[in-house]
Structure 1
Amino acid sequence: MFAAAYIDLQKKILPADKPIRGARLSFLPLQHHYSNEDGFEGIYIEFDEFVLLELKQSVTGGGQRLDLMTEHVAFWQLYQFMGNSDIYLPHNLPLSDNRCISFSSQVSKISLILRPTRQWIILIGYKKNFTSDLLKEFPMLGSLVFGADADHSTWYWEPDISINHSLREVWKRIERTIYFPFRGKAELLLHVCRLLDEYCKQLDKQSDQSERSMLGLYHKALAYINDNLLDSINKEMVAEGLNVSLRTLTRAFENRPIKIVDYIQRLKLNHARDLLYEGEMSIEAISNLLNYPNRKYFSREFKKYFFQSPSIFKKEMEFFKVQGEDDES
């Protein structure tokens, strides 16, 4: 079962009645294949040194949330082969397909949201008990564990990188693993070490000072947008608030998973959905609060992102609340 000490999928987890096909970890025995009560499937295995979780399935509705627990895990790696996800560190870092990111936190959990689309991700959580030995071989990962150069923050991450040919070749070798009861664990551990080796090589290639400077500005911009979401935020305002030129700010978002205008729009609509769920404000009031020109424009953008109008979403939430109150009574 998915260990609550490492991963919380928010739903009841059930053993799969047949192996999940077409995934990187499909070679693992049936006892490592699961689904939650919504039918969302995953493959999970735990070792002394790390845990592995693979999810490959379409996500519908408002998305799928899981929490990565940090008490026993030094840092996490996320391989996003397909789809879009948001990691909250503490503001959301968007990740698109064919990207990999490493991250950690001193808080109790890290929330991950899988967006409504076809998703294919693999999470690797490296346990704290083996951190010392791990860093002897991969010292570049030290900032994830000890927070070096992180301004005493409780959140750490390395730049997201492309899942290049070398990393894909390692994953293909993993796919072809014949999992024997004893030798299989040793082979999988060796493959994960190869992944780390290739990951560190690529990280080193893009870790020059200019890239890190642009990455820092990118994260500062994301945080600034979160803090000033209700103040008619736009990219010109962000540039002025961070005391950089608009051109420099635009460069910071080049080759990132999301552009600054799209990020502002996504954040506003997510906030609008939360307010609609709470049910204390009208659609008109929410539209005004988030500085949309009018309700019609707001409704069109909301439907474009969530595939239903705000009025329908609001009615559905009211119905579910009433139904929940009836069930409790």
Structure 2
Amino acid sequence: MMSSSDFVHFIPPQQHPRTRRYDGYLSFLTDPPYSVPNAAIVHRCFAHDRLYWLELKDEIQEETSIIKLKPQEPCLWVVIALIGGCTFHYDRVATVTSGNSTYFASNRRELSMELNPGKNWLFMVGFPQPCFDALMAEFPFLESLNQLHENKAPHWAGAIVPISSRLRAVLESLRRLVFQPYSTPVQLAGWSLRLLNYFFNDNRGNGTGTVEKDDISHYHQATKFIREHYLDDISLENVAEALHISVRNLTRSFENRTYTVNGYILHLRLTKAREVLAFSDRPIRDIAYTLRFSCPKHFSKMFKQKFRKPPMVYRNEMKKEKLGLDKRAFLR
């Protein structure tokens, strides 16, 4: 079995020591031999029985980081850029941006990858050349590997597609694994088959229609979650995390809708505020902080923008209206 230090190489090889706890999908893999000592980026990697796994999750502070992957043979790679983006250099240059996934194959036995400064979360699985015949037999779409297999082409690349909620669910299933010296490689191999099924069976032939269906599904899931939690301290990022999708995919699902994500949260809070003003004597300050506004002044400004009158004016009008109703009821 190839060791992690043979498979992954960081340039420069080291930087300041890290103390942050690793919380990626491969966090069940313990420290060395599943990470490179003194590596520039917090990561986990695993090479076993003709399969390669690599996950990078860290914040790069200063400049672009370069990573060299050196498998023992040409590979088919599946790449998922959860946060941040990366650029690959083999016989061509390929960039994967945040919130997207892709796959490609190359005859190169060395793959150079660049990560830009900022937060990065990248997940990769490699399937080396000895697996190609079996992969093509099981996934007919991969027959293009024949050209790579017979040295007729140096590389080929698939489409770049947004990360869907279904792909997130596939990744989240890794969190249920507990490291075992014998069973973990078997479980990871089975999980990799599930990943291939997603890319080359379940998701094949679904282009824009799949994205649109995912957007509709994400929109309804998000509005349901917001209605249940708008009284909590939630944000755009919180909602995306709860749905296991990227912020980009979440915001896209609200395009051409009445409200943005934050706009819908604000709408529900202000509607609740109107109800509380009408049927209680709670102070404006109390209402503002309960509904997660930064201060009473900001609450009053937002309320006036939406309902065309300040909170106290609305409350007084509601009191007069209720008083008039009471008088009419008494006269009857």
Instruction: Give the Cα–Cα distance (whole angstroms) in 2 for the partners of residues 60 and 36 of structure 1.
Output: 19
How far apart are residue 33 of structure 1 and its match? 4.2
Instruction: Give the Cα–Cα distance (whole angstroms) in 2 for the partners of residues 62 and 17 of structure 1.
Output: 17
Contact 1:101 1:161 in 2 (8 A): yes
Instruction: Give the Cα–Cα distance (whole angstroms) in 1 for the partners of residues 5 and 36 of structure 2.
Output: 14
Q: Which runs of 5+ in 1 are unaligned?
A: 209-254, 256-329
How far apart are residue 195 of structure 1 and its match? 0.8
What TM-score do the two structures reach when normalised by structure 2? 0.54
Note if 1:2 corresponds to 2:7: no
* Structure 1 residues 65 and 130: CA distance shift in structure 2, 3 A: same
Aligned residue pair count = 205
Contact 1:86 1:93 in 2 (8 A): yes
Partner of 1:134: 135
Q: How do 1:287-326 residues align onto structure 2 when only pairs under 5 Å count?
A: none
How far apart are residue 97 of structure 1 and its match? 1.2
Partner of 2:244: none
SS of residue in 1 equivalent to 2:205: helix
How far apart are residue 80 of structure 1 and its match? 0.7
Partner of 1:326: none
Note if 1:101 corresponds to 2:92: no
Q: Which runs of 5+ in 2 are unaligned?
A: 210-248, 250-332
How far apart are residue 103 of structure 1 and its match? 1.3
Q: How do 1:167-186 residues align onto structure 2 when only pairs under 5 Å count?
A: 167-186=167-186
Partner of 1:155: 155
Contact 1:74 1:145 in 2 (8 A): no
Contact 1:100 1:161 in 2 (8 A): yes
Partner of 2:57: 56
Instruction: Give the Cα–Cα distance (whole angstroms) in 2 for the partners of residues 176 and 121 of structure 1.
Output: 19
| Partner amino acid, structure 2, of 1:191 | W
Structure 1 segments of 4 or more deviating over 6 A? 16-19
Contact 1:75 1:102 in 2 (8 A): yes
SS of residue in 1 equivalent to 2:203: helix
Note if 1:123 corresponds to 2:128: no
How far apart are residue 135 of structure 1 and its match? 2.2
How far apart are residue 64 of structure 1 and its match? 1.0
Q: How do 1:1-329 residues align onto structure 2 when only pairs under 5 Å count?
A: 1-4=3-6, 6-12=7-13, 20-35=21-36, 37=38, 39-69=40-70, 71-144=72-145, 146-147=147-148, 153-200=153-200, 201-206=202-207
Contact 1:41 1:55 in 2 (8 A): yes
* Structure 1 residues 140 and 46: CA distance shift in structure 2, 3 A: same
Instruction: Give the Cα–Cα distance (whole angstroms) in 2 for the partners of residues 64 and 195 of structure 1.
Output: 27
Partner of 1:302: none
How far apart are residue 32 of structure 1 and its match? 4.1
Instruction: Give the Cα–Cα distance (whole angstroms) in 2 for the partners of residues 89 and 12 of structure 1.
Output: 21
SS of residue in 2 equivalent to 1:34: coil
How far apart are residue 22 of structure 1 and its match? 1.2
Instruction: Give the Cα–Cα distance (whole angstroms) in 1 for the partners of residues 39 and 47 of structure 2.
Output: 23
Contact 1:27 1:175 in 2 (8 A): yes
* Structure 1 residues 93 and 28: CA distance shift in structure 2, 3 A: same
How far apart are residue 204 of structure 1 and its match? 2.9
Instruction: Give the Cα–Cα distance (whole angstroms) in 2 for the partners of residues 95 and 107 of structure 1.
Output: 19
Larger radius of gyration: 2
| Partner amino acid, structure 2, of 1:57 | D
